[in-house]
Amino acid sequence: MNRVIGRAGEIPWRLPEDFKWFKELTTGGIVLMGRKTFESLPKALPNRTNVVFTRGARRLAADGEFVAKCGCKPLVGHWAARLGKGGFQLGFERLGPGEVWLVRGVRQFLDALARHRVKREVFVIGGAQIYERLLPRCTDLYLSLVFREVEGDAFFPEFDRWFSDRYEVVRKTADFEVRHYRKRRE
Ligand SMILES: NC(=O)c1ccc[n+]([C@@H]2O[C@H](COP(=O)([O-])OP(=O)(O)OC[C@H]3O[C@@H](n4cnc5c(N)ncnc54)[C@H](OP(=O)(O)O)[C@@H]3O)[C@@H](O)[C@H]2O)c1
């Protein structure tokens, strides 16, 4: 309720129903996240392409603990050039489930997604830094509002500038509700 989303690198509540909703929503898609959010996960999210934004991609790709969490060799660098080459056959549509891409250029990556008219759904899944950076480019916002106030050090950004005041409640339990907001018309 107070916009807290994280504390000491973790989510400060455990709501299995919310995780279930998140899994249903994002499975099959491309999930974009900051490096700290990826590190907060037990492992790469299965059946989704994990895109992790970081300014230290090569360092992370050489870090055994990080690679173990990926569960596979993370892909680093040259993705933009690869996407442009027909012969290379590695497009966003073809990325396998559970792959991890380490990406430095947030804007370049989003531009490439748009340019290649990717059909898979793309989800921005946090944390605070990445929400702040990418919310203005999102068309829809599914916000899980947790009915309790907890202390934390990571906050969901103000979003009313980008999204309409009206919303639809698409799931509700005793602990939280999921609100679907749409982008404001210009
Ligand atoms: N409640 C929820 O639904 C939810 C969801 C997600 C996360 N969370 C919580 O949020 C917290 C993490 O959020 P956070 O804001 O601290 O971190 P974050 O957004 O997950 O990750 C920040 C990192 O992303 C990379 N990054 C940020 N901007 C970038 C850019 N423009 N270009 C390239 N890389 C960029 C940097 O990685 P490098 O330092 O490697 O360069 C930066 O340190 C955790 O507590 C997590 O549990 C909660």
Burial class (CB in 10 A: 0-12, 13-18, 19+), 67: middle
Pair 48, 97: CB distance under 8 Å: yes
Per-residue pLDDT at 96 = 65
Whole-angstrom distance, CA of residue 126 vs CA of residue 84: 28
Burial of 186 (0-12, 13-18, 19+ CB in 10 A): exposed
- 155-177 exposure pattern, b = at least 16 Cβ within 10 A, e = fewer: ebbebeebbeeebeeebeeebbb
Interval between CA 35 and ligand 1 midpoint (Å): 5
Question: Separation of 88 CA from ligand 1 center, angstroms?
Answer: 31
pLDDT at 79: 64
The preferred substitution site among 5, 36, 76 for testing ligand 1, maximizing ligand atoms within 8 Å of CB, is 36
Does the CB atom of residue 128 touch ligand 1 within 6 A? yes
* pTM of the predicted model over 0.85: yes
Cβ–Cβ < 8 Å for 178, 171 = yes
Q: Domains (ranges, CATH) in the chain?
A: 4-138 (3.40.430.10)
- Residue 86: predicted pLDDT: 52
Q: Is the CB of 124 under 6 A from ligand 1?
A: no
Query: What's residue 81's pLDDT?
Result: 59
- Evaluate: CB of 143 within 6 angstroms of ligand 1: no
130 pocket-lining for ligand 1 (C-beta < 6 Å): yes
- Quick one: pLDDT at residue 83? 60
The secondary structure of residue 175, as a DSSP letter, is: S
Query: Ligand 1: which of 129, 137, 177 to mutate, judged by most atoms within 8 Å of the beta carbon?
Result: 129
For atom 4 of ligand 1, which residue has the closest CA?
Answer: 5
**What's the confidence (pLDDT) of residue 114?**
82
User: End-to-end alpha-carbon separation of the chain, Å?
Assistant: 28
At position 70, the amino acid (one-letter code) is: C
Residue 119 β-bridge partners: none
pLDDT at 109: 87
Assess contact for 78 and 108: CB atoms under 8 A: no
Each of the 186 residues of the chain gets a pLDDT tens digit; together they read: 789 999 999 999 999 999 999 999 999 999 999 999 999 999 999 999 999 999 999 999 999 999 999 998 898 876 665 565 554 435 666 656 678 999 999 998 888 888 777 788 999 999 999 999 999 999 999 999 999 999 999 999 999 999 999 999 999 999 999 999 999 987
- Cα–Cα–Cα angle for 56, 139, 173, rounded to 5 degrees: 95
* Cβ atoms of 51 and 126 closer than 8 Å: no
